[in-house]
Amino acid sequence: MNRRTAAAIAACLVAAASMTLAGCSSGAVPDGPDIKISGAFMPQPVGDMASGFLTVTNSGGEGDKLTSVTSEIADEVTIHETKGQKMQHVTAFDVPANGELNLERGASHMMFMGLKRQLKAGDNVSVELHFEKSGQVEVELPVKEATYNPKHH
Ligand code: CU
């Protein structure tokens, strides 16, 4: 082992010991958001509007935001929160660091307007979620019966 290698290893050990975000070996990317989607579904729609639900889990050390949703199935997809009995259009949902965003019945949801075809339970709808930092994440929403309502926890 030459002096340079020894010095590099020593520096690496110091960095590891001080728990810096930059790794010594691999890509050395900062610890950003780490997004996973689960429990996605769409209740079978009535008419040409539908809602959609899912959970976004962020196991990264940095928060993110769900800024928009798009899908070829609908003319327009918006994101809504429910305040009391009223739905309200929001521009973004926070996905906290080491936390989750729940879109669930009676609360925040996606809203699909101007459906381009009739959807029935058993169908699948592809949706693109757009995150401020994580970029575009594709997800399949299975269409469930109109009353379907899973419990997350
Ligand atoms: Cu709505």
Please compute the mean of the pLDDT values over residues 66-79 and round it to a whole number: 98
Q: 55 C-alpha vs ligand 1 centroid, how far in Å?
A: 17
Residues with a beta carbon under 5 angstroms from ion ligand 1: 80, 87, 111
Write the pLDDT tens digit of every residue in 31-54.
799 999 999 999 999 899 999 999
Q: Is 152 or 113 the better-scoring residue by pLDDT?
A: 113
Has this prediction a pTM greater than 0.85?
no
Amino acid identity for residue 29 in this structure: V
Q: 112 C-alpha vs ligand 1 centroid, how far in Å?
A: 8
Predicted confidence at residue 31, as pLDDT, reads 79
Write the pLDDT tens digit of every residue in 7-29.
665 555 555 554 444 444 444 44
Q: 48 C-alpha vs ligand 1 centroid, how far in Å?
A: 13
Predicted confidence at residue 7, as pLDDT, reads 62
- Cβ neighbors of 88 (< 8 A, separation 6 or more) are 80, 81, 82
Q: 133 C-alpha vs ligand 1 centroid, how far in Å?
A: 25
CA triple 135-138-144, angle to 5 deg: 140
